[in-house]
Copies of this chain bind each other. A is one copy, B any other.
Amino acid sequence: MSPASRYTYLGPEGTFTEAALRTLPEAATRELLPMVSVPAALDAVRAGEAAAALVPIENSVEGGVTATLDELAGGEPLMIYREVLLPIAFALLVRPGMALESVKTVTGHPVAQPQVRNWLAATLPDAQWESAASNADGARLVQEGRYDAAFAGEFAAAPYGLEPLVTDIHDAQNATTRFVLVGRPARPAARTGADKTSVVMWLREDHPGALLELLHEFASRGVSMMRIESRPTGEGIGRYCFSVDCEGHVSDRRVGDVLMGLKRACQKVRFLGSYPRADEVRPTLNPGTTDEEFVAAADWLTRCLDGRA
């Protein structure tokens, strides 16, 4: 297939990322290519070898989050066109015939461990945990006989010839991972009225209050921040950039006004796209922040300048 019909994702096969990707209707007609890491998945897009990449960005069970944030913040610009929310539950995968009481060694990605820890302590208190490079890799190691069982998505059983002995394991209720579909920069996804916008911003100076001022740019237009994460810039401990999701679409006036404010207030700001919210929640707007009020304010300013206010 041509690069235009190829989607990469954080592999190997059998990861939650693949499961998330398969929830997209267009995945059925695309070549889905597992990559060894988030950077590799995104580099394929940058290089034109794939049209888009699906990578975890939040609450991942496979460790991709900070890699994703850092890749989107640095290097050749990329943009987010879509988000996917996937409820996370683990299955305990074993070779066919293995009984629960025979499981002495278990494996899985290190990030999965805290999510199954309580279950493991209650159910298999004597089982020994060793980490694998990914949940799917853990499955492979079970297949090879190195461990008795692996925590992974239930969908990882078949590819590795395993059986899900127990399913729906997750210490936290409502565990969900958020994935984003990333492509090369182009016109943002169309406005739906229930949208989200992502940016990365670098503070101009490091004084007590610099971050505060940026948050004011959002708050003063009534634009809710939905996620904020600090990431080291690589210029040394204590130097950060901030990765932010806010509600709204870049073509909403309130959001556009926030973005212009950030552009002026930041040392640097990178627009990562506007795209439909997976939860389809529409915002409640504060007084003074509708498109109509922005237009009315601009009209009024023109009248002030013309002596007709």
Which residues of A are at the interface with B, using a C-beta cutoff of 8 A? 36-37, 39-40, 58-59, 63, 65-67, 70-71, 77, 79, 85, 110-111, 113-114, 117, 129-134, 137, 172-176, 178, 185-188, 204, 206-209, 211-213, 215-220, 222-230, 232, 234-238, 240, 250-251, 256, 259-261, 263-265, 270-271, 279, 286-289, 293-294, 296-298, 300-301, 304-309
Contacts and interface: CB of A to CB of B under 8 A. Distances in A.
A99 to B, nearest CB: 24
A236 B304 contact: no
B289 A264 contact: yes
A132, A220, A296, most chain B CB atoms within 10 A: A220
Given A185-B307, A288-B204, A113 B264 contact: no
B215 A212 contact: yes
Contact of A208 (B58, B111, B219): B219
B286 A208 contact: yes
A39 B113 contact: yes
A219 B209 contact: yes
B225 A298 contact: no
Given A223-B208, A228-B211, A131 B134 contact: yes
Contact of A308 (B36, B175, B185, B308): B185
Given A77-B309, A187-B305, A217-B220, 5 more contacts: A37-B113, A132-B133, A229-B229, A251-B305, A259-B304
How many monomers of this chain does the complex have?
4
Q: Which of A40, A70, A260 has the most CB of B within 10 A?
A: A260
B234 A172 contact: yes
B305 A250 contact: yes
A226 B238 contact: yes
B220 A216 contact: yes
B309 A185 contact: yes
A207 B226 CA distance: 10
A227 B226 contact: no
B219 A212 contact: yes
A250 B215 CA distance: 26
Nearest to A205: B287
A212 B211 CA distance: 9
Contact of A237 (B178, B225, B304): B178
A24 B36 CA distance: 36
B216 A110 contact: no
A216 B212 contact: yes
A260 B295 CA distance: 9
